[in-house]
Amino acid sequence: MRPFRHRRLTAVVALATMLVTAAPPTAAGADDGGNRRAGYHRVGYFTQWGIYGRAFPVKKLDTSGAASRLTHVNYAFGNVSEDGRCFVDGGPGEGDAWADYQRPVPAEESVDGVADAWGEPLNGNFGQLAKLKAKHPGLQVLISLGGWSWSTYFSNAARTDASRKAFVASCIDLYLKGNLPVLDGGSGGPGAAAGVFDGIDLDWEWPNWPGEPGNVVRPEDRQNFTELVAEFRRQLDAYGRTTRRHHPLTAFLPANPATMDAGYEGREIFRYLDFATVQGYDFHGAWDPVTNQQSALRVPSGAPDNPDFSAEVAIGGWLARGAPREKLVLGIPYYGRGWTGVSGSGNGLFQPATGPAPATFEAGYEDYRRLNTLAGNGFTVHRDLRAGHAWLFDGTTFWTYDDPAVVLQKTLYIRRAGLAGAMVWSLDGDDDNATLTKTIGLGLATP
């Protein structure tokens, strides 16, 4: 491996030249009757809690230029109750209905510049997403169910035919039909959020595999996940016959081949999914005793683990299990993983460390917009163009992250591999100019 200490402008220009000559694939929907749409999916997760510490309201998707580069926004997250239902609750640990649709958004944070009044049926993030869609009519918004923290009871919801039917019906009623619980002051009510969400994204982490401690895990999760996506497809299609629209169904899938085998019937689930986003990050972090890459395109030369993870390994794993490449969307991180107390010599890669690097919100985890300010400010940028990853090192602290050059390289890989597009976690990690999202828009533009 030959790391590069500085950005190689000529390499980036070469990548851009190759991008405009690579033909885009077509991406088929799960129920599109054989019609195929040109272009790439560009999916971004919007976090419910990003309005707080990160000060990232929905409006920033518009003012930064991100919204015009995206095809889908996934709202993170929707919760699953112990008895297997979609629900919204403001109780501790259960949700934040205030952020979702109760909070009166002031004029300066509003997409259309109009402030919410207290007690309107649809305030908060949901109301702003409705305004964003009105301004960007081609943009689709999906509710993402589960995530790391709220996958606890997915297994209960998927366990039987009756539980699956009830679960799916509850999710469609709550999010697509928009029948929200009425909150103090009057927000919510029948049809309050109708039209905000176009479809469902399943973020069960993970079927028949440990995720967050306390998750319910059963061996039958593997088959039940297939039955669950089939039930979602049936009910979404039935609902679509009343709306005269296709309502997309997607899923977030793991990078670990062992997790793939434990929890998924690879070929079968894609009969029902419009597409799936594949985890392209968290390959390594401060839970490891040595520094490493968290999102490399390929396994770097000299990597201490064998086998190891990479984006190419993750995509290859799903292809080997029968996934159609035109339904695979590669996940890209808008954050980095970091270590401190790094010893050894050289550029800091694959060296012992004492623990997670200090950071703004979570030790060992930092947004791209903050990491980008470190380059040239005590930290040196290193990169491995062959493996497709970059890192920052100041002699003591090490951050692995994706900068625009790495993101552009990944879009080239997506095009050459014939994949369906890119997904990002999460939009609030980008800078105020949406630099990474604009890079994806450039890299996946249709000539």
| Mean pLDDT (whole number) for 169-190 | 97
| Mean pLDDT (whole number) for 365-370 | 98
| Mean pLDDT (whole number) for 14-34 | 39
| Mean pLDDT (whole number) for 369-378 | 96
- Alpha-carbon distance of 345 to 395, in angstroms, equals 9
Q: Please give the pLDDT value at position 24.
A: 41
| Residue 224 pLDDT grade (very low, low, confident, very high; cuts 50, 70, 90) | very high
Mean pLDDT of the chain: 92
Q: Please give the pLDDT value at position 89.
A: 79
pLDDT, tens digit, for every residue of 192-206?
999 999 999 999 999
Q: What is the percentage of the chain residues whose pLDDT exceeds 90?
A: 89
Sign of CA dihedral 368, 134, 41, 175: positive
Q: Per-residue pLDDT for 2 more than 50?
A: no
| Backbone torsions φ then ψ of 380, nearest 5 degrees | -105, 135
Q: Please give the pLDDT value at position 20.
A: 35
Q: Please give the pLDDT value at position 344.
A: 93
| Mean pLDDT (whole number) for 65-93 | 93
Q: Per-residue pLDDT for 241 more than 70?
A: yes
Q: Please give the positions annotated as active site.
A: 205
| Mean pLDDT (whole number) for 227-247 | 98
Q: Please give the pLDDT value at position 147.
A: 98
CATH of domain 9-334+404-443: 3.20.20.80
Q: Please give the pLDDT value at position 17.
A: 37
| Mean pLDDT (whole number) for 341-370 | 97
Q: Please give the pLDDT value at position 447.
A: 74
Q: Per-residue pLDDT for 29 more than 80?
A: no
Q: Per-residue pLDDT for 68 more than 70?
A: yes
User: What is the residue whose two structure tokens read 């109760």?
Assistant: 102
Q: Please give the pLDDT value at position 38.
A: 60
| Residue 35 pLDDT grade (very low, low, confident, very high; cuts 50, 70, 90) | very low
User: What is the residue whose two structure tokens read 């995206």?
Assistant: 70
| Mean pLDDT (whole number) for 244-251 | 98
Q: Per-residue pLDDT for 215 more than 70?
A: yes
pLDDT, tens digit, for every residue of 81-133?
999 999 997 776 788 999 999 999 999 999 999 999 999 999 999 999 999 99
| Mean pLDDT (whole number) for 256-260 | 98
Q: Please give the pLDDT value at position 446.
A: 86
- Alpha-carbon distance of 342 to 289, in angstroms, equals 10
- Alpha-carbon distance of 376 to 105, in angstroms, equals 38
| Mean pLDDT (whole number) for 206-227 | 98
